[in-house]
Amino acid sequence: MPLIVAEFHLTPEVVGLIGASLVFGAVFGAGLGGPMADHLGRKKLMLADMIIIAVGAATSALANGFPMLFIGQLLVGVGVGIDFPASSSYVSEVLPKRSRARTMVATIACQSVGMLLAAVIALLLLKIVHSAQTWRLFLATEAVIALLFSCCVFRNRTVRTG
């Protein structure tokens, strides 16, 4: 945020709105995610939420001011919110019974590891890339990772067993 604040000369209230947009989007997405997953199917919704995250992250990375950044972060939040009910349900449905509990715990643990890894990557980029535009690289990387993940989900032809 310090790099974004410096570039766009944001007030503390606007910084709060940007942070709140992500959380508000997640709450909204989580409320929609469960019913939509039941109606559209979990795999389709997982693809959709990754595309929403990628579009939101790309919008944020290309932002030319507060409104575009706010909308981008709102979209990322919606995608993340949708992902919670869709992904956990999908993973539990496609895993074999004998390894379901262990793999679900591993999936949850991987979320924490992913957050820590993202923080490490961000710190490394700040140290290596000496530019006020580094924040755009962070957000663009988020978009790329979401698109790669959606490609993996799309290619997965897992058949439910046991």
* pLDDT range class, residue 29, cuts 50, 70, 90: very high
147 vs 47: CA distance, rounded Å:
9
Q: Is residue 161 one of the residues assigned to a domain? A: no
Give the range of the structural domain holding residue 135, as residue numbers without chain letter. 2-155
Q: Is residue 160 one of the residues assigned to a domain? A: no
Task: Give me the CATH number covering residue 34.
Answer: 1.20.1250.20
Q: Is residue 30 one of the residues assigned to a domain? A: yes
- Residue 159 is encoded by which pair of tokens? 């058949």
Domain count, the chain: 1
Is residue 135 within 8 A of residue 4, CB to CB? The reply is yes
- pLDDT score recorded for residue 98: 84
Q: Is residue 162 one of the residues assigned to a domain? A: no
Q: Is residue 93 one of the residues assigned to a domain? A: yes
* pLDDT range class, residue 160, cuts 50, 70, 90: very low
58 vs 51: CA distance, rounded Å:
10
Q: Is residue 43 one of the residues assigned to a domain? A: yes
* pLDDT range class, residue 47, cuts 50, 70, 90: confident
pLDDT in tens, 117-128: 888 888 888 888
Is residue 134 scored above 80 in pLDDT?
A: yes
pLDDT in tens, 57-105: 999 999 999 999 999 999 999 999 998 878 777 777 777 888 888 877 8
121 vs 123: CA distance, rounded Å:
5
Q: Is residue 42 one of the residues assigned to a domain? A: yes
- pLDDT score recorded for residue 156: 65
81 vs 72: CA distance, rounded Å:
14
Is residue 28 within 8 A of residue 77, CB to CB? The reply is yes
What's the longest Cα–Cα distance across the chain?
56
Distances 118 to 30, 71, 86, 123, 125 between C-alpha atoms, Å: 22, 22, 22, 9, 10
The more confidently predicted of residues 133 and 91 is 133
Q: Is residue 82 one of the residues assigned to a domain? A: yes
- pLDDT score recorded for residue 56: 97
